Amino acid sequence: MEFKKALDINREIKKIVNKLGFNHINYRRLVCFRSQGSSSRATARIWSFPRIWQLALNLPSYYIIEVISERYDKLSYERQQKVLIHELLHIPRNFSGSLLPHKTKSQRIDSRRIEALYQKLFED
């Protein structure tokens, strides 16, 4: 499998974070990669930087968003934006380095929520 930094994805993430008011996300500590050759069925995935590693390396929390080129690049712009929104929703409010599951007591990461955020992305 091959990984390359995806500066275009980082730019899109910055736009999404700013437009949707995801103030808890420090996009300077979010690195994006485009991978090729993955056998995963995913279109994209988010990687955490657990607290134990933060302490061991004396580094703050970081996140990685990986888009899988064979799937992500074929999508329409709309679908790509929704995939990125989905991945961002996994980042908790405290930006701790952990990940939120699809279902929590207070919220869900589902198509209805993603669609509402996508619509908000293009409001004037």
| pLDDT above 70: residue 78 | yes
Indicate the domain borders of the chain.
2-121
Burial of 26 (0-12, 13-18, 19+ CB in 10 A): middle
Q: What is this structure's pTM? A: 0.93
**pLDDT digit string, tens, across residues 91-118:** 999 999 999 888 876 678 889 999 999 9
Name the architecture of domain 2-121: 2-Layer Sandwich (3.30)
Tell me, what amino acid is at 51? R
The confidence score (pLDDT) of residue 23 equals 94
Q: Is the pLDDT of residue 124 over 70?
A: no
What would the two tokens of residue 95 be? 């930006």
pLDDT tens digits for range 36-76: 998 889 999 999 999 999 999 999 999 999 999 999 999 99
